[in-house]
Amino acid sequence: MFKQKNHNFIKFADVFERYLIRFIIANLVILIAFQIILTQENLRIRISRADVIETAGEIAGTKEVSGGVLEKGEIQPEYLTLELDYHIALPKLKILVNGMNVADFSSKQVVLRVKNGDLIEIDGTYYPYTVGVKVISNSPLIVSPKVGDKIFVNGSIESLGKINIQGVDLENLNSMGYNGNNRGDI
């Protein structure tokens, strides 16, 4: 009788071990398959929600990029508000002003301080799919870009355009020493 119980236990242990090994191997195959899938950038972005989770606290917020005190002779900056289309946040989507990274889309909306002649660009080189960005508001004196202007970025840097402020002559400013690249306010 003792041999019968011992034999049943050994048989049970063999079957259990066989299924345990199969379970572990199946899980390793699934893990490796997902790791391979996540190396493909366009699939990783659609499957992984890490960018959204990292910025969950800022979902409803607006990120404002504010500057310091204006020096004597500096021109009062105007404001431009940009918003993502169809996304809550894309923290690796950068906003460039005169070629310098000044903000990102950690939240759906970003408010920028801009001056006449500033070149606004969106750097979407991190994202290999199309991302839309639109101007949802601006200061009353900003002639362009206008509210409603939209650009689409697909793995590249795209220009929204130069800031054009009503009544400000860029040629006059350049002759007075303003070159548009002074970013001390942001």
Q: In the chain, how many domains are there?
A: 2
Is 186 a member of any domain? Answer: no
d(CA 84, CA 146): 16
The confidence score (pLDDT) of residue 135 equals: 92
Strand locations in the chain, DSSP E?
62-64, 78-85, 90-97, 100-105, 109-114, 119-123, 131-138, 142-144, 150-153, 157-162, 164-165
29 and 76 in a single domain? The answer is: no
Range of the domain at 122: 60-175
Mean pLDDT of 26-41: 87
pLDDT tops 80 at residue 120: yes
Which tokens in the block code for residue 2?
A: 């003792």
64 and 34 in a single domain? The answer is: no
Q: Of the ranges 73-82, 89-98, 105-114, 125-134, which one carries the lowest mean pLDDT score?
A: 73-82
The confidence score (pLDDT) of residue 181 equals: 47
| CA 165 to mean position of chain CA atoms | 28
123-153 pLDDT, tens digit each? 989 888 888 999 998 888 888 888 899 999 9
Mapping DSSP to helix (H, G, I), strand (E, B) and coil, where does residue 173 land?
helix
Is 8 a member of any domain? Answer: yes
